[in-house]
């Protein structure tokens, strides 16, 4: 492998969940720019088609596939479709997550609790199971789990969400250990506060930013595109000896 093509993804098939906007969209576009065929997935096919069109307009290759990551039957159908269409999967980015409840942890209602677990833990888990099995058939691949700094330091009013992100970090390590033998690497990205629809209540609220920024050495929130480089690294041969790790892209927040 020469140093000039460390990040080349030509011939690779990549699935990015939650890729219709925000961090997932920027990851999908970066993987496509480096040569991967990208399956752009979210609940809304139309929104995914818009991202696919942008990728194609930039000279890349992509397709849209709708999938609700909280629905097991839809996950199964997605991976069956990928296998029958492409016969392989090289890169899986588990990125689609939910955070339906902000507030005191003691008041978390059961339906928000269940929904958060279904998407953020069960969805990542079964996508990883299907992804790792398909990758193993072709000698391996790379799974990247988008977790969060909240998986290390729970976010204020985001108790159940933070718990699920801690589980994703543990899931990353458990899969990394067991899947290394089949050539599947598994790593996590831990974004800090990033300017997306998901985090609008935080990053567009002056009072919240005033409380948060003293704890962020770089004194600003991230733009979604700033998450893509770490994922590109983990997806590519540049990370051929990297598994079970977390990359913090958080402006220094987790330094403490």
Ligand X SMILES: NC(=O)c1ccc[n+]([C@@H]2O[C@H](COP(=O)([O-])OP(=O)(O)OC[C@H]3O[C@@H](n4cnc5c(N)ncnc54)[C@H](OP(=O)(O)O)[C@@H]3O)[C@@H](O)[C@H]2O)c1
Q: Is 181 exposed, middle or buried (0-12, 13-18, 19+ CB in 10 A)?
A: exposed
Number of residues that bind ligand X (CB under 6 A): 31
Give least dist CB 28 to ligand X, A: 10
- For ligand X, the closer CB: 137 or 220: 220
Any contact of residue 145 with ligand X (CB under 6 A)? Answer: no
- Please name the residues in contact with 201: beta carbons below 8 A apart, sequence gap of 6 or more: 102, 208
Find the residue with minimal CB distance to ligand X. 22
Find the catalytic residue in 124, 161, 233, 253.
161
Q: How far is CA 227 from CA 90, 95, 96, 108, 197, in A?
A: 20, 11, 14, 30, 15
User: In the stretch 151-190, what mask flags binding to ligand X with x, by CB under 6 A?
Assistant: ----------------------------------------
**Closer CB to ligand X, 20 or 112, in the complex:** 20
CB 70 within 8 A of CB 122: yes
- Tokens at residue 99, please? 């955070």
Q: Which residues pair with 42 in a beta bridge?
A: 66
Candidates 254, 93, 245; CA nearest to 172 is 245
Interface residues for ligand X in 7-66 (CB under 6 A)? Answer: 17-24, 42-44, 47
Range in contact with ligand X (rule: CB under 6 A) among 4-12, 68-76, 103-111, 134-142: 68-76
Classify residue 221 by its DSSP letter: P
- CB 72 within 8 Å of CB 108: no
Of the two residues 20 and 128, which places its CB atom closer to ligand X in the complex?
20
Tokens of 112: 């928000």
Assess 191 for contact with ligand X (CB under 6 A). Answer: yes
- Determine the length of the chain: 256
In the chain, what is the straight-line distance between the N-terminal and C-terminal CA atoms, in Å? Answer: 38
Q: How far apart are CA 151 and CA 165, in angstroms?
A: 4
From 198, 232, 234, 247, residue interacting with ligand X (rule: CB under 6 A): 198
Under the binding rule (CB under 6 A), the answer on residue 199 touching ligand X is yes
Give catalytic status of residue 253 as yes or no: no
95 lies in the site for ligand X, by CB under 6 A: yes
249 binds ligand X (CB under 6 A): no
Q: How far is the CB of 11 from ligand X (least distance, A)?
A: 26
CB of residue 149 vs ligand X: minimum separation in angstroms? Answer: 6
Q: Return the SS3 of 214.
A: helix
**For ligand X, the closer CB: 6 or 200:** 200
Stretch that binds ligand X, among 6-14, 95-103, 131-139, 177-185 (CB under 6 A): 95-103
CB atoms within 10 A of CB 243: 20
Catalytic residues: 161
What is the contact surface with ligand X in residues (CB under 6 A)? Answer: 17-24, 42-44, 47, 67-70, 95-98, 119, 146, 148, 191, 193-194, 196-199, 224
């Amino acid at each position: 492998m020469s140093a000039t093509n460390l990040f080349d993804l030509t011939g690779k098939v990549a699935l990015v969940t939650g890729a219709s906007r925000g961090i997932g969209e920027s990851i999908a576009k970066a993987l496509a720019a480096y040569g991967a065929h990208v399956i752009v997935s979210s609940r809304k096919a139309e929104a995914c088609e818009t991202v696919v069109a942008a990728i194609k307009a930039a000279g890349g290759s992509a397709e849209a596939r709708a999938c609700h990551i909280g629905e097991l039957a839809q996950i199964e159908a997605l991976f069956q479709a990928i296998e029958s269409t492409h016969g392989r999967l090289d890169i899986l980015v588990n990125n689609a997550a939910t955070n339906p409840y902000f507030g005191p942890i003691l008041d978390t209602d059961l339906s928000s609790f269940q929904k958060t677990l279904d998407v953020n833990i069960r969805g990542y888990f079964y996508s990883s199971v299907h992804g790792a099995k398909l990758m193993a058939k072709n000698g391996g691949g790379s799974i990247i789990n988008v977790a969060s700094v909240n998986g290390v330091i729970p976010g204020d009013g985001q108790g159940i969400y933070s718990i699920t992100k801690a589980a994703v970090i543990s899931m990353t390590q458990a899969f990394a250990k067991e899947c290394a033998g089949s050539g599947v690497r598994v790593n996590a990205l831990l974004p800090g506060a990033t300017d997306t629809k998901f985090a609008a209540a935080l990053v567009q609220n002056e009072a919240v930013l005033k409380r948060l920024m003293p704890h962020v050495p770089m004194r600003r929130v991230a733009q979604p595109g700033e998450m893509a480089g770490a994922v590109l690294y983990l997806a590519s041969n540049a990370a051929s000896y990297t598994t079970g790790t977390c990359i913090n892209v958080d402006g220094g927040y987790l330094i403490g």
